[in-house]
Structure 1
């Protein structure tokens, strides 16, 4: 029960939390996207997982993950706040998270592979960037977009498909792209994020 409570607090598993409310909705409509939806949510809420993103995302496709790289990234972030045992457990759990998302494959030897986002996962990644203040074309150059292992042009195509499916609003003209999330966020949430939408 205590573990469930701690996980709920860490990952914001509360329907009154906008991120979780949106995740629950998307989870129901995008079964194929669930691994990436889960990872994006975890990255948004878990700073230790987020610290390892550069290590994973910079790996070429087919490269084996050297456990020490994750250990070094974490140690640089937490310095001496975690003992070696806790750090080892954290590395194991983080490796598992990246494997479950599809970025790594293999039980013992973790090999980097590219993921294939769905339009709905793309909309969610863009929403996370939007909540943190990114706008326009900048939405496609954030950590959240990079997690999708997809070139910007393809992400824009996926976002256009997400618009067609009713998950975001998007307009594009003269090299300028605008994306908004009136369909996913309430009016109060949009105002809370950055004044007005």
Structure 2
């Protein structure tokens, strides 16, 4: 497996804290921001759009700065970050895929949100998710770490994101529904699995693909669609599976040797 240091350079984030301690994934703001720029935009361009030009219509300079900081925390917002670069290159391929695509990147970059997947994903379709269940999950490892008010806020942010991405529905009460993954989401999930050093069938068994669907045949069907559109090359012969990425620059996953690190 790929070490955390290398994954961090690619764009993954680790630790205990995460952006969902402050906000949800802010999908509408993200869509508006990316709509205003093509994929060549820099982090400075996004900063100017949010803070100087206020295209997201935030009421104060502080709220504009916090919005920019939050979006960078969640998505990277830089083509120098491989996870964001591929995300941005594929963003406009399918409007229907965008909310889930944003969730996929946010899960990769926010440990709090990623940790919540173990609560959301096992729910049966139609099952009710009390906010208190998420609060208890957040507090289970360190019951005294957060106040009751903080836990409630974090749980609301987390539930809001999973709702925006199509995994939950309802306002006052949340219920599990089946999200609609597209070939773009599957291709990005395979890319995330590749970043962890996985190949072949293990990519489809990964957390990133299982987050989309537990139905392996459905995942294979999406992979065929992604292959037809040139996002991946997908070959399947019986139980032998091969996945490559023909049209994107893949991050270097080689690990430096100890003697190289000292030099």
Q: TM-score, normalised by structure 2?
A: 0.68
Correspondence 1:1-197 to 2 at 5 A: 1-3=64-66, 4-77=68-141, 79-186=143-250, 189=251, 192-194=252-254
The 8 Å contact of residues 11 and 46 in structure 1, kept in 2 or not, is answered as no
| 1:77 positional shift | 4.4
CA distance, structure 1, for counterparts of residue 119 and residue 147 of structure 2: 21
Output the CA distance in 1 between the equivalents of 2:73 and 2:131: 28
Unaligned runs of 5+ in 1: none
Quick check: which one's helix share is greater? Answer: 1
SS of 1:145's equivalent in the other structure is: helix
- Tell me which moved more, 16-25 or 177-186: 177-186
Distance 1:36 1:144 in 2: 12
Between the two proteins, the alignment pairs up a number of residues equal to: 191
Structure 2 vs 1, CA of residues 176 and 71 (structure 1 numbering), >3 Å: closer, same or farther?
same
Q: Which of these two proteins has the greater Rg computed from alpha carbons?
A: 2
Deviation at 1:25, TM superposition (A): 1.5
Q: Equivalents in 2 of 1:169, 1:77: separation in Å?
A: 42
RMSD of aligned alpha carbons: 1.6
1:146 & 1:174 partners in 2: Cα distance? 20
Distance 1:173 1:194 in 2: 29
Structure 2: runs of 5 or more not aligned = 1-63, 256-263
TM-score under structure 1 length normalisation = 0.90
- 1:32 match: secondary structure: helix
